[in-house]
């Protein structure tokens, strides 16, 4: 069931301005990254989350600093929403010293443990069992922190999904699995390769879980839905599986023109753009347009300045090649 946003006057998130600003930061980060990709500054590949900002921003707003998140190669939104610096995030895309991972990870592996973000994973499904582990760890350490694990609709068909969901349920782990159903796995409509209409929610009962479908483009709905699951997890009542319906405005990766989309689909979803919708909500609730525009200008400036700083950063020093393989600090495969 797609839930509807709450009443028009009170905005259903704790810090509406903060959420608005966050969604804008995600959006403008991605737009800037795309521009710089076309200019040849981004190495390798890149998967943008434009259009999916409400999930990352709404989810992050439900968390404490000691909570854990894990995401995918389409993961810029999630690490930034947890608090990672924009310049370090850009820097990682550009393979620079300033990068979150010193340039060793790249666009698909943005990680900021400092902010509780335990990695972006580029092999589909791999991080779902890992999320069980961070959640299990909290339980073992007697901490009441919660793990949020983001993944796509296509990920629900891989074996690791099944193993992780079952173990989380059996061990009642404090983890919330959030499927961002953006209709496509790469170029293939998810319905063509999935035995059920709702790739995540229709599997929930296989793990004794409630099916939960939310409007992933309504940040208030996202916040409410995930907050409830996070609370449950924090109370020790076990995992949840949430399917958030959303859409990526860009292609799958790099410069994919997304020709596989039926005509009108993008346009249709653009009318449900999560930022536009939230702006409408804020305005209905009495925020004035000029304030909102000012915030957006501030964000654009912040993002631009961060990109500049990242571009000004040098590549990692050659000495970095052999560090971080083993804890001893070099490639100590021989003694």
Partner 1 sequence: MAQLMYRQAVAAAIAQEIERDPTVMLIGEDVGAGGGVFKATEGLFERFGPSRIWDTPISEQAIIGTAMGAAMTGIRPVAEIMFSDFLATCWDGIANEIAKMRYMTGGQVCMPLVIRCANGGGVHFGAQHSQAVENWAMAVPGLKVVAPSTPADVKGLLAAAIRDDDPVVFFEQKELYAQTGEVPEDEYVLPLGQANVLREGADLTLVALAGTVKTALETAERLAADVGQEAEVIDLRCLVPLDVQTVKISLAKTGRLVIVEENPRPLGWGAELTSILVEEAFDSLDAPIIRVTTEPIPLPSSPTLERLARPGVERTLEAIRRL
How big is the site for partner 1, counted in residues (CB under 8 A)? 82
Q: Which of 21, 41, 83, 136 binds partner 1 (CB under 8 A)?
A: 136
182 forms part of the interface with ligand TPP (CB under 6 A): yes
Please give, one letter per residue, the 3-state secondary structure of 207-218. HCCCCEEEECCC
The residue from 205, 276, 280, 288 that contacts a second copy (CB under 8 A) is 205
DSSP string across 55-119: HHHHHHTT--TT-EEEEESS-HHHHHHTT--HHHHHHHHHT-TTSTTTTSS-GGG--BGGGTEEE
Site for a second copy in 145-184 (CB under 8 A): 157-163, 165-166, 169-170
**Which partner from the list a second copy, partner 1, ligand TPP, none does 321 bind, CB cut-off 5 to 8 Å by kind?**
partner 1
Q: Which residue's structure tokens are 């939310």?
A: 214
Closest CA to 147 of 68, 237, 62, 236: 68
The closest residue (CB) to Mg ion is: 152
Which C-beta is closer to a second copy: that of 27 or that of 203?
Answer: 203
Whose Cβ is closer to Mg ion: residue 115's or residue 127's?
127
Q: How far is the CB of 155 from Mg ion (least distance, A)?
A: 8
Neighbours of 204 (CB within 10 A): 21
Separation CA 98–CA 32 (nearest Å): 17
Residues numbered 178-237 forming contacts with Mg ion, rule: CB under 5 A: 182, 184
Whole-angstrom distance, CA of residue 75 vs CA of residue 292: 26
CB 61 within 8 A of CB 15: yes
How would you classify the pairing of strands 240-245 and 184-185? Answer: unpaired
- Cα 326 to Cα 118, 123, 130, 330, distances in angstroms: 18, 22, 20, 6
- Interacting positions 185-204 with a second copy (CB under 8 A): 192-196, 202-203
Asked if 270 is part of the footprint of ligand TPP (rule: CB under 6 A), the reply reads: no
Binder of residue 270, out of Mg ion, ligand TPP, a second copy, none (CB less than 5 to 8 A by kind): none
Span from 15-23, 117-125, 230-238, 281-289 in contact with partner 1 (CB under 8 A): 117-125
Binding stretches for a second copy (CB under 8 A): 157-163, 165-166, 169-170, 192-196, 202-203, 205-209
């Amino acid at each position: 069931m797609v839930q509807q946003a709450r009443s028009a006057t009170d905005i259903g998130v704790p810090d509406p301005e903060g959420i608005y600003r966050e969604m804008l930061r995600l959006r403008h980060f991605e737009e800037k990254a795309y521009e710089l990709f076309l200019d040849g500054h981004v190495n390798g590949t890149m998967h943008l989350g434009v259009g999916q900002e409400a999930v990352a921003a709404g989810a992050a707003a439900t968390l404490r600093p000691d909570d854990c998140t894990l995401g995918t190669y389409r993961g810029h939104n999630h690490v930034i929403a947890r608090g990672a610096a924009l310049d370090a995030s850009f820097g990682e895309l550009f393979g620079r010293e300033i990068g979150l991972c010193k340039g060793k990870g790249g666009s698909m592996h943005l990680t900021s443990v400092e902010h509780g973000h335990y990695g972006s994973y580029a092999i589909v499904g791999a991080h779902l069992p890992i999320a069980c582990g961070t959640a299990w760890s909290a339980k073992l350490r007697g901490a009441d922190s919660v793990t949020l694990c983001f993944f796509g609709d296509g990920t629900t068909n891989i074996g690791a999904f099944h193993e992780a969901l079952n173990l989380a349920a059996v061990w009642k782990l404090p983890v919330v699995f959030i499927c961002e159903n953006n209709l496509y796995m790469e170029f293939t409509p998810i319905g063509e390769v999935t035995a059920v209409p709702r790739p995540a929610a229709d599997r929930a009962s296989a793990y004794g879980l409630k099916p939960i479908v939310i409007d992933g483009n309504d940040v208030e709905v996202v916040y409410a839905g995930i907050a409830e699951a996070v609370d449950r997890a924090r109370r020790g009542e076990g995992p949840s599986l949430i399917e958030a319906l959303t859409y990526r405005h860009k292609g799958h990766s790099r410069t994919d023109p997304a020709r596989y989309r039926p005509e009108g689909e993008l346009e249709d979803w653009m009318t449900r753009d999560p930022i536009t919708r939230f702006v409408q909500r804020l305005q209905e609730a009495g925020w004035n347009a000029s304030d909102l525009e000012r915030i957006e200008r501030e964000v654009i400036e912040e993002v631009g300045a961060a990109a500049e700083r990242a571009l000004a950063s040098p590549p990692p020093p050659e000495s970095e090649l052999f560090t971080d393989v083993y804890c001893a600090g070099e490639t100590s495969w021989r003694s």
